[in-house]
Structure 1
Amino acid sequence: MRRAAILLAGMTLAAMPAMIAAQAGDDPALNPLGLANDVKVLSPRDPSVRKATAIVNGTIITETDVDQRLALVLASSGGRIGDEERQRLRLQVLSNLIDETLQIQEAAANKITVDKAEVDQSFARAGAQFKRTPAQFTEMIRAMGSSPASLKRQIEGEMAWRRLLSREVEPFVSVSDEEVNQVIARMKASKGAPEYHVSEIFLSATPATDQQVLANAQRIVEQLRQGASFPAYARQYSEASTAAVGGDLGWVRAEQLPDALAAPLREMGPGQLAGPLPVGGGYSILAMVDKRQVLTTDPRDALVTLKQVTITFPANTAKEQAQPKLTAFTEDLKTLKGCGQVTEFAAKWQADVVDSDQIKIRDLPPQLQPLLVDMRIGEATPPFGGSEGGIHSLVLCGRDDPADKTVPSAEEVSSQMTDERVNMRARRYLRDIRRDAVIEYR
């Protein structure tokens, strides 16, 4: 809900130049910049000239810096990017590095620094998410064509900027009790209404740039459909305030969004894309992460305990050869009478067993979620396969059903609204820093 308001505000602001231009016609006095409409460009810009590096207030961003950060972005997108798209992404990475440098410089100017030990700790936590030690994580990053220094620089920039905002912006943002009560009242009135977890990429456009922006948006959608990372592309391309969080709008209701976005949203399912969609001031690309009903308990929020049973086949086994074993395995699964028999069952089939505890059903692949919702304790799913190889079945050993949904507390709502307003002021803060910066491209 909170990020939807940011999106709407961003679209309204982005639409203003185009609206003014449309009203101005041929009257130079009404031109947004007060320029005549018959301007002549006296020196053509060479589109083949691409500035690869920059000096930002004396700090040098090298070509190696750009290459290493680009490698991280490409790794998150699976590397499935053409040469032309890679060049556009490279320029965006340079722009992001400039912003990152400005943020670190502004924090330092306000006597805010980040200790190396803090950066190293955050780096280690990032590696732990991949089940790697810092040394193993370092090798993993180098194998991508990047370096730990590049990721640590990004970590430093994020930490410095957050601390700067907490001191220079957050203390001056307030949310009244009346505003909080209005939000809570609207949530109560909307109980049972569909709600969507959405991510978005917004590209601003003017009448003069409309076709170019549309073509760029179409290329982004094509890359996303081929498996590119939506959060990575949102961070690099989106001009909405949600870019910093990978385009995540959070949970919204369709009526909170412009009609151009609301209509396709109602028809989308989890994992689907929509766009480019024309909206005021540009184009949006939407990704449906999940859907639910407001203040309604979702059985997919249940926590389950599972045993995963996996059988494998020799390499290059033909489907016809595997079918008899698969059929027998399927029938034998129906005879299981609880998790206590899984060990004996696995020994019979020379299967591997993996125990998983406290797994939320909604975190499992979408195809398996309805199966687990309807299963009883001790039952096994039908066999299924995946990109990992082998044939699997999940045996349900326990389930903790979710508690009834309640209205968020006033403190939670206030915190969300505060975050939204801090985010908006942060954009303005960075805009002002860019305006005053001395940037030399090389």
Structure 2
Amino acid sequence: MAGVLLAATTAIAQSVGDDDDATPSVGLDLPKDLTVFGHSDPNVHKATAIVNGTIITDTDVDQRLALVVAANGGKIPEDEKERLRLQVLRNLIDETLQIQEARANDIKISKEEIQQTFERVSSNFKRTPNDFAAYLREKGSSEASIKRQIEGELSWNRLLRRRVEPFVSVSEEEVKAVIDRLNASKGAHEYHVAEIYLSATPDTQAQVLANAQRIVDQVRKGGSFVAYARQYSEASTAAVGGDLGWVRAGQLPEALAQAVQTLTNGQISDPISVPGGYSVIALVDQRQVLTSDARDAVLSLKQISITFPPNLTQTTAAPKVEAFAKAVQGIQGCGKVEEVASQIGAEVVQSDQVKVRDLPPALQTMLVNLSIGQATQPFGSLQEGIRSLVLCGRDDPQVSDGPSYDQIYNQMQEERVNRRAQRYLRDLRRDAVVDYR
């Protein structure tokens, strides 16, 4: 760090002293040949950590933190942001170690590969690369920050394919055993679960529990569970937002199994004490093994909606809402939707190939119980408008045959690779020289 500061101050001194005549007269007794002492270049950033010689600056942390804040809709309080900042620094240290280890194994990610991935990410945000770069700057981050994250992920994945995956094996007997268990469990409940795991020792237990509760509070206020899992979780699933996939209660530790069976779709648990720390779980979805689920039905729908002028009061809107509700409940088949809409000044939008499972939970419950031609109860708000969905067609799901041999094989292999990757990273942390500034 001292070398960086010296180079900066020397450059400043030289740029001032190269041309005596360029020094303007400002009414001050200033020397023409001067030397600047200390740090005076705002473009030289203080190091937050030096990892095996690689510098991580405050700016690096700030820009990566801005990505996390943006992912949470900017809803992170200042005190929580400071705690998250420490976690972001840890993640940047891990990222640096991963890139360094990949390079030590002659794995280098080209600028062209990074740019191609950046362009794909931009398209996911429905922006051009230039527009996406501007968006990142607007949020306080940068194109360079996300490209560094891309380099880290590509480097680590390629390293795992070379150093870990060839030594992970899943036997045919193991896969068949899973298939047999699935067949024996037909009708049993499965849960799509996500987890945030925080390790704790007896000395840090109270602090970790408080941190876990803060995470729960923030997610319940609208924060992104996936974003918190990526930044905080110490499980191998952190990279995929804590996603554990589909599991049966019996596959989970007892405390988690009990908790998941009390949750409804979209709910998040309180912190749960588990061996070695605390877990927070979210129930994404649930189903029954090898049985058809009404929520897998594919629907054809017509949406009928009305909007209201700005600043309309609830009292003024109430008669219009009641008239809308009466009209849609009187619809007799989809062929009448446009006629009813014209009578009440509503708009109609048709949508086919809508899977029930992809709709909000409240609408799922209504739609699975509707007959063809019937309408849901009105829903919405004065600000966004009032809507109703009319069921025009339903393709009921077939009985599931369960995951294929290849799907089970790939899942088991991925789980084992993730466990070895976690140990690999733990060894890199142990052997690293990290100088915090």
Q: TM-score range by the shorter chain?
A: 0.7 to 0.9
Moved more, 401-410 or 64-73: 401-410
Compute the displacement of 1:335 (Å): 3.5
Corresponding residue for residue 214 of structure 1: 209
Compute the displacement of 1:225 (Å): 1.8
Residue aligned with 1:370, SS: helix
Compute the displacement of 1:261 (Å): 1.7
Corresponding residue for residue 296 of structure 1: 291
Q: Does 1:118 align with 2:129?
A: no
Residue identity over aligned pairs, in percent, reads: 64
Compute the displacement of 1:137 (Å): 2.5
Residue aligned with 1:419, SS: helix
The TM-score with structure 2 as length reference comes to: 0.84
**Per-residue deviation, residues 345-397 of structure 1 (Å, max 9, x unmatched):** 44443333333332221111110002121223333222100596111112223
Aligned-partner Cα distance in 2 for 1:122–1:403: 37
| Residue 311 (structure 2) aligned to one of 303, 312, 316 | 316
Are residues 112 and 377 of structure 1, via their aligned partners in 2, closer, same or farther at CA, if it must alter by over 3 Å? farther
Residue aligned with 1:267, SS: coil
Are residues 202 and 325 of structure 1, via their aligned partners in 2, closer, same or farther at CA, if it must alter by over 3 Å? same
- For structure 1, the residue ranges without an aligned partner over 5 or more in a row are 1-50
Q: Does 1:285 align with 2:293?
A: no
- For structure 2, the residue ranges without an aligned partner over 5 or more in a row are 1-45
Q: Given that residues 52 and 94 in structure 1 are in contact (C-alpha distance below 8 angstroms), is that contact kept between their aligned partners in structure 2?
A: no
Corresponding residue for residue 401 of structure 1: 396
Aligned-partner Cα distance in 2 for 1:361–1:388: 25
Aligned-partner Cα distance in 2 for 1:286–1:154: 26
Corresponding residue for residue 424 of structure 1: 419
Compute the displacement of 1:244 (Å): 1.5
Q: Looking at CA atoms only, which structure, 1 or 2, has the larger radius of gyration?
A: 2
The one-letter code sitting in structure 2 at the alignment partner of 1:208 is D
Q: Does 1:412 align with 2:412?
A: no
Show the 5 A alignment for 1:46-85.
53-85=48-80
Q: Does 1:326 align with 2:321?
A: yes
Aligned-partner Cα distance in 2 for 1:291–1:221: 21
Q: Does 1:196 align with 2:191?
A: yes
| Residue 127 (structure 2) aligned to one of 125, 129, 132 | 132
Aligned-partner Cα distance in 1 for 2:138–2:411: 39
Aligned-partner Cα distance in 2 for 1:215–1:339: 53
Are residues 129 and 337 of structure 1, via their aligned partners in 2, closer, same or farther at CA, if it must alter by over 3 Å? farther
Coordinate RMSD, CA, aligned: 2.0
Q: Given that residues 297 and 405 in structure 1 are in contact (C-alpha distance below 8 angstroms), is that contact kept between their aligned partners in structure 2?
A: yes
Residue aligned with 2:397, SS: coil
Please list every run of at least 4 consecutive aligned residues from structure 1 whose deviation after the TM superposition is greater than 4 angstroms. none
Q: Given that residues 47 and 55 in structure 2 are in contact (C-alpha distance below 8 angstroms), is that contact kept between their aligned partners in structure 1?
A: no
Q: Relative CO higher for 1 or 2, CA cutoff 8 Å, sep ≥ 6?
A: 1
**Per-residue deviation, residues 229-256 of structure 1 (Å, max 9, x unmatched):** 1111111111111111111111111122
The one-letter code sitting in structure 2 at the alignment partner of 1:237 is Y
Aligned-partner Cα distance in 1 for 2:343–2:116: 46
Residue aligned with 1:362, SS: helix
Q: Given that residues 109 and 154 in structure 2 are in contact (C-alpha distance below 8 angstroms), is that contact kept between their aligned partners in structure 1?
A: yes
The TM-score with structure 1 as length reference comes to: 0.83
Are residues 138 and 318 of structure 1, via their aligned partners in 2, closer, same or farther at CA, if it must alter by over 3 Å? same
The one-letter code sitting in structure 1 at the alignment partner of 2:386 is I
Aligned-partner Cα distance in 1 for 2:434–2:157: 23
Show the 5 A alignment for 1:315-354.
315-354=310-349
